[in-house]
Structure 1
């Protein structure tokens, strides 16, 4: 499978109107609890645009000086932002008069996402030499040196990463949103098993494409809230 700067920029451009339409719908419907989900395509658009810059910098004669800054910004989303964002989206949907066990579990997921994200990304921010993006089999491999590499296996770390992002959304009463979460899980497994050499780039691209369905999901006639 081959990706390129063109693919990244096309996806980024395509997601912009989806994100704008999603935010507009939330405002018109007065559903502020849906706003985090509605903003997700816009954030994916920014992330894909950043990957496009990484591709351009790695191209022969490209602006090599842009590679690591763009990769660092891209990995902010991949390693930190999404780990906290999707638990936060689920928390905003959990509008219970008396927060119960599920609300507390979502809060734990959010805190875990923040901690794991900080542990993954902050060392890269402090030392840019820990990032070395390379092209492998036509895809980007964001080669990174992480603090947890010596203590946590890749399989366990990836499983925890996927659970923090996906599990909170599976609690929704909306069949469409549960389908979105299930699709994220399938894409996670596909990317991990078939594109392990470029997992971060491939899964984020697949997830960005899937986020284009969020406008349709937000308009689900079933309540887009968490199961009571």
Structure 2
């Protein structure tokens, strides 16, 4: 966070930290599934993991990209992704609050099941809201983060589709290290107003 130079980049700059906290929460899900923590703590861990993964993330990611984007057609397109993310946020958050989520271990991964978030249209809107916003960005590192996420999403869907939420979130968390590396070590910072946009 110390590397972020403009307030509009704070949300995007916080992405690696938020993913790290999310993975920390899932560690408690694992402990609960192994019977090493109480039922109440386990249920709260499942709830918090799903609330961020299914509800908050599809709004947070396009909003973070929108705040970075200068005026132009890309900003309007990313705003549309953010609006779609808000719809997913509302629907998924309601589902996580209103319906129970079941977490089970399947083939050494955690599978989360919630009847309100398993609908195909929610999954499709989720992917469009998060990945399209990244791909539409005028900032190169944001686009590469989006491309890598789409590649990872496809692989996870084919190999571990039954545990998609858990495995893709882990993949995105590890991948977000590239954002820290960009802020920390590169001479070109995505939060500078004179950053050259993509053509």
Task: Output the TM-score relative to the length of structure 1.
Answer: 0.76
Q: Deviations over 1:88-143 (max 9, x none)?
A: 112111232xxx4432322221121011122012122133xx21111111110111
Q: What SS does the aligned partner of 2:110 have?
A: strand
* Distance (whole Å) between structure 2 residues aligned to residue 168 and residue 108 of structure 1: 9
Please report how far the alpha carbon of residue 61 of structure 1 lies from its aligned counterpart in structure 2 after TM superposition: 4.8
| Structure 2 contact 135–143 (Cα < 8 Å) conserved | yes
Q: What's the CA shift for 1:37?
A: 1.4
- 1:52 deviation in Å? 0.7
Q: Is the aligned partner of 1:44 residue 2:19?
A: yes
- Contiguous gaps of at least 5 residues in structure 2: none
What are the residue-to-residue correspondences of 1:20-59 with 2, within 5 Å?
Answer: 23-26=1-4, 30-59=5-34
Gaps of 5+ in 1: 1-22
2:181 aligned with 1:216, yes or no? yes
Q: Distance in 2 between matches of 1:122 and 1:196?
A: 23
State the alpha-carbon separation in 1 of the partners of residues 103 and 139 from structure 2.
Answer: 38
2:105 corresponds to 1:135 = yes
Q: How many correspondences in the alignment? A: 193
**Could you tell me how far apart the structure 2 residues matched to 1:89 and 1:192 are?**
25
Q: Report if the CA contact (8 A) 2:78-2:133 is conserved.
A: yes
Closer, same or farther in 2 for the Cα pair 1:167/1:64, shift >3 Å? same
1:141 touches 1:198 (CA, 8 Å); kept in 2?
yes
Cα distance per residue 1:157-202 (max 9 Å; x no partner) = 4333212101112233433332211111111111111101100000
Name the structure 1 match of 2:48: 73
Measured in 2, the distance between the counterparts of 1:113 and 1:167 equals: 11
- What RMSD over aligned residues (CA atoms) do the two structures have, in Å? 2.1
How far apart, CA to CA, are the structure 2 residues paired with 1:123 and 1:163? 20
1:196 equivalent in structure 2: 161
